[in-house]
Structure 1
Amino acid sequence: MKWKELMIYSVAPLGGQTIGKAASREDAWWLCCRYGLKPFPLDDASAVGLEDAENGAKVWTVPCEHTQYPYNRAAFENRRRDGLATLENGLPAWPIAEENGVAFQTFKQRIKRGWSGERAATEGVWEIAHNPDDEWEVIALENGLSVRAYRSRVQAGCPENIAATMGLGWRKW
């Protein structure tokens, strides 16, 4: 079964308001963890249930210590980031981007540029290839400087020998 064919339902802590969407019991449980609601252990898969809501839609209900969204910093950041963009199936795109190693600032900039949530979360990050023939680039790598940092210093007008050997104060040369 492809991920696009999954049935997506809302998620709510038992006795609380909807906090997001998930495709399975485990995903619903993890969403509650992610948002700081402290769900009870998932020892018994029947603890998380699929129930009918007042409006007739189905909702995953998760027994949690908290029924309201607690505003601790980590939970707040997760909720804010999850709200930036969604995948085609309606789930938040940020957790997928996080799994794929996309930095949050990169993800956010992609969304700002008009990329779909799907593309922003799944498209890899460009790696700059090291040129082993460039002796100063080799020295920069030996000094713990990345290829990107070295090249941006040179492009900004810094001589290669200084760009490869200077620390953070390279602009004072």
Structure 2
Amino acid sequence: MINDVAPLGGEVIGKAASREDAWWLCKRYGLKPFPLDDASAVSLEDAENGSKVWTVPCEHTQFPYDRAAFENRRRDGLAEFESGLPAWPVAEENGIAFQTFRQRLKRGWSGERAATEGVRDIAHNPNDEWEVIALENGLSVRAYRSRVQAGCPEPIAATMGLSWRRW
């Protein structure tokens, strides 16, 4: 069952399904929860409106200014699963870049699909001699092909470093 999460004495900051998830949410948002040595540190209490709230003892009850924590709060608010949990942490665990996640949402994907569907891998063409040279030089297939598509000649696209646009 999913319930709201709040630092002890503070406002609700999100939702979690377990004590550990509630503790990690507070940590993720920069509230510095006290160490979770035993399960009794986080408690499920009745809120004023009759719902249940995970309360986490933390050093801060309001958000301290921490750029990473601010970004996590902003990104967590972009999309949710049907259960009400934020989708971005799952996307992050699945290795999906934030820009990819955000573009998927802009295209109308659901939060669950944007967070769980893997990224496309571009297949290497072993018959393309310049692509083979690009891979030997440490360049990805995607980078090589985007250079060629941008108008860069194949020999230069495969051998130039970061200054390829100045050819």
Q: Give me the TM-score of the superposition, normalised by structure 1.
A: 0.94
Give the aligned partner of residue 16 of structure 1: 10
Give the aligned partner of residue 37 of structure 2: 43
Residue 132 of structure 1 aligns to a residue whose secondary structure is coil
Q: Displacement of 1:128 after TM fit?
A: 0.5
Residue 12 of structure 2 aligns to a residue whose secondary structure is coil
Q: Deviations over 1:36-74 (max 9, x none)?
A: 111111112011100000011100000111111112111
Superposition pairs of residues 67-146 of structure 1, within 5 angstroms = 67-146=61-140
Aligned partner letter, 1:12: A
User: Aligned partners of 1:114, 1:138: CA distance in 2, in Å?
Assistant: 37
Q: RMSD of aligned C-alpha atoms?
A: 0.9
- Any stretches of 5+ residues in structure 1 without a counterpart? 1-6
Residue 162 of structure 1 aligns to a residue whose secondary structure is helix
Aligned partner letter, 2:37: D
Give the aligned partner of residue 3 of structure 1: none
Q: Deviations over 1:52-108 (max 9, x none)?
A: 000111000001111111121111011011011001110000000001110000001
User: Aligned partners of 1:117, 1:127: CA distance in 2, in Å?
Assistant: 21
Q: Give me the TM-score of the superposition, normalised by structure 2.
A: 0.97
Q: Displacement of 1:126 after TM fit?
A: 0.4
- Work out whether 1:34 is the aligned partner of 2:28: yes
User: Aligned partners of 2:111, 2:91: CA distance in 1, in Å?
Assistant: 9
Identical pairs, percent: 87
User: Aligned partners of 2:132, 2:150: CA distance in 1, in Å?
Assistant: 19
Q: Displacement of 1:157 after TM fit?
A: 2.0
User: Aligned partners of 2:166, 2:67: CA distance in 1, in Å?
Assistant: 38
Residue 73 of structure 2 aligns to a residue whose secondary structure is helix
Out of 121, 142, 146, which is 1:148 matched to? 142
User: Aligned partners of 2:82, 2:123: CA distance in 1, in Å?
Assistant: 33
- Any stretches of 5+ residues in structure 2 without a counterpart? none
